[in-house]
Amino acid sequence: MLWIKLKRVIRSGFFGFWRNGFVSLSSILVMLVTLFVIGTTIFSGAILKSTLAEIRDKVDINVYFVTTANENDILAMKSNLEKLPEVMPPVTYVSKEEALAAFKLRHQNDQFTLQSLDELGQNPLGATLNIKAKDPSQYESIAQFLDGQNAADGSSIIEKVNYYQNKDAIDRLTHIINSANRLAMLLTIFLIIISILITFNTLRLVIYMSRDEIAVMRLVGASAGYIRGPFFIAGAIYGFISAIIALILFYPITIWLGSTTADFFVGFNIFHYYTANFGQIFLIIVGSGIAIGSISSYLAVRKYLKV
Amino acid sequence: MIHFDKVSKIYLDNSVALEDISFSIEPKEFVSIVGHSGAGKTTLLKMFLAEEKPSAGKVFYESTDIATLKRDQINNFRRKIGVVFQDFRLLPHKNVYENIAFAMEAAGRTDEEIEADVPHVLDLVDLGKKIWNFPNELSGGEKQRVSIARAIVNQPEVIIADEPTGNLDPLNTYDIVQILKKINDLGTTVILTTHNKGVIDSLKKRVLTMENGRIIRDDKEGKYVI
């Protein structure tokens, strides 16, 4: 009997959807807006994440060693640094010779500088370690760690750590990144709540139009579940169709915006993101559509079941 | 079978819809309830259908106090009663077949029973040819016949007809009353409310006359006397 009831509810839901053509169409359009907001939120979240990651990646600190520092001491410090949980491995080591070669390459057209270097007769540059933290807020503790580092014989081999020169910029950036993350999350929640409320109210209106019908169903002795079922199914169909339309529309839109976003957001191509993450986006959009449609309908019918 | 015991209904705004109503209806009876608009006829029917609870007194169906029924029991109880409304109240997005099938589905009948009984009951009300039409394709009289078919398809013990001829022309009114009489002859209790003097006078059945929420007359073979 349960199977027969289920079959009847599903059939009735489909017929209700099909025969209320205009109402179904308008519900689908409203839900399309909601799912568009959710989709746009996914894309903007990805853009923000990628841009912030790109900015984070640009932040680093360099440790400059004295010219007399022993290479073994430096490499020991490098491996110590890589063991720190705050540090994102690998720590890049640039030897004195590599630093000199890079300097010469950079100034290959500046004969005066190259000549002065030759006159010195020795390499004036020290080795450097380039360190990236997993999070910009962790540079301070890495800098503190470096303060206590000495060579095996106890002498200080660090000439300077540029963190202290860049401290203000790094602090400001950390603050901006954290604020941007928080703001984006609040905005996302706000937009999603608003669009769900709009959908819920639209479906409430749709069901309000059916209130007499629901009352008659009650009076012929239909149970609450049997009355609710077809509305629940129709709501799920609205959600599913809106989701499919939204996913189809995202395709040309992301193609159109793809190159613009790639130029503007340091290599983030929204179309590549959409196609690479299609499975996940499909599940989120279709899942949200079906859930919002069916749950809204289910709740909206409740009010009229009290006959 | 049906017994109203000192039933009163007073709404929140202190308006009195029913006042100290007592009467009984026996099985297979045909009872007409007459009275002006606002006399309390519809409220009386709502009490019986468990749509409203009395402020005082009790309404019994056999030995059951209707006001004490729980939600599931109300559904089961309503399946024993067929209701015909003045405004037909058909489901607009279901065709004639589906409208009648819905009442059977709600009562838990099988697909085979539905397929066999729906055409049969439509033949009884002479609407066999309109089985696949939607309500907006039917005339008022046809809609009311579908409504009656829906009410009788589960072979209820009682049929409540709340001003079923109110929106119909004299010819359709006559047809609907004949159908109700036929249903009653087959053994179903019928409760009819109406404003139509001609209908009451031609029926020659029991008449309860209501005024201002009270029953002022109860005649065995009554006439319309307001």
pLDDT in tens, A295-305: 888 888 887 88
Task: Give yes or no for B45 touching A (CB within 8 A).
Answer: no
* Residue A307: per-residue pLDDT: 62
Q: Per the CB < 8 Å rule, is B75 touching A217?
A: no
pLDDT tops 80 at residue B86: yes
Nearest to B151 by CA among B103, B105, B110: B103
- Taking an 8 Å cut-off on Cβ atoms, the answer to whether A15 and B75 are in contact is no
Compute the distance between CA of residue B91 and CA of residue A219 in angstroms, rounded to an integer: 12
Interface residue A223 vs chain B (CB under 8 A): yes
A224-264 helix and A21-58 helix, angle to the nearest 10 degrees: 40
A222 closest CB neighbour out of B92, B106, B111: B106
Which of A4, A213, A223 faces B91 most closely, judged by CB atoms? A213
Using the Cβ of A169 and the Cβ atoms of chain B, whether some distance falls under 8 Å is answered with no
**Contact with chain B for residue A221, Cβ under 8 A:** yes
Tens-place pLDDT, residues A5-22: 888 999 989 988 898 888
B48 vs A124: which has the higher pLDDT:
B48
Q: Which residue has the higher pLDDT, A149 or A77?
A: A77
Q: Is B137 touching A (CB cutoff 8 A)? A: no
A13 contact B CB<8A: no
pLDDT of residue A210: 85
Q: What residue in A sits closest to B79 (Cα-Cα)?
A: A221
Candidates A20, A216, A218; nearest CB to B93: A20
Domain ranges of chain B: 90-154
Residue A290, pLDDT score? 94
Nearest residue of A to residue B156 by CA position? A220
What residues pair up with B65 in beta bridges, in sequence order? B60
Q: Does the beta-carbon distance from B79 to A221 stay under 8 Å?
A: yes
Which of A4, A19, A226 is closest, CB to CB, to B106?
A: A226
- Residues in chain B closer than 8 A to A2 (CB atoms): none
- Asked whether A52 and A180 are in contact (CB, 8 A), the reply is yes
Kindly list the structural domains of chain A, giving each domain's residue range(s) and its CATH number in brackets, ordered by start: 2-55+174-305 (no CATH), 67-156 (3.30.70)
Give B185's pLDDT tier (boundaries 50, 70, 90): very high
- Neighboring chain A residues of B78 at a CB cutoff of 8 Å: 218-221
A2 touches chain B (CB under 8 A): no
| Ramachandran category for residue A91: left, alpha or beta (phi over 0 → left; psi -120 to 50 → alpha) | beta
Which uninterrupted H or E stretch holds B193? strand B189-194
**Residues 83 to 102 of B: which have CB under 8 A from any A CB?**
83, 89-94, 98, 102
Q: What is the pLDDT of residue A117?
A: 78
Three-state DSSP string of chain A: CHHHHHHHHHHHHHHHHHHCHHHHHHHHHHHHHHHHHHHHHHHHHHHHHHHHHHHHHHCCEEEEECCCCCHHHHHHHHHHHHCCCCECCCCEEECHHHHHHHHHHHCCCCHHHHHHHHHHCCCCCCCEEEECECCHHHHHHHHHHHHCCCCCCCCCCEEEECHHHHHHHHHHHHHHHHHHHHHHHHHHHHHHHHHHHHHHHHHHHHHHCCHHHHHHHHHCCCCHHHHHHHHHHHHHHHHHHHHHHHHHHHHHHHHHHHHHHHHHCCCCCHHHHHHHCHHHHHHHHHHHHHHHHHHHHHHHHHHHHCC
Q: Is the ipTM of this complex over 0.85?
A: no
A221/B106 touch (CB, cutoff 8 Å), yes or no? yes
Q: Which residue of A has its CA nearest to B91?
A: A213
Q: What are the pLDDT digits (tens) for A31-68? A: 999 899 889 888 888 888 887 777 777 778 888 888 88
Q: Could you report the per-residue pLDDT of B110-149, keeping only the tens digit for each?
A: 999 999 999 999 998 889 899 999 999 999 999 999 999 9
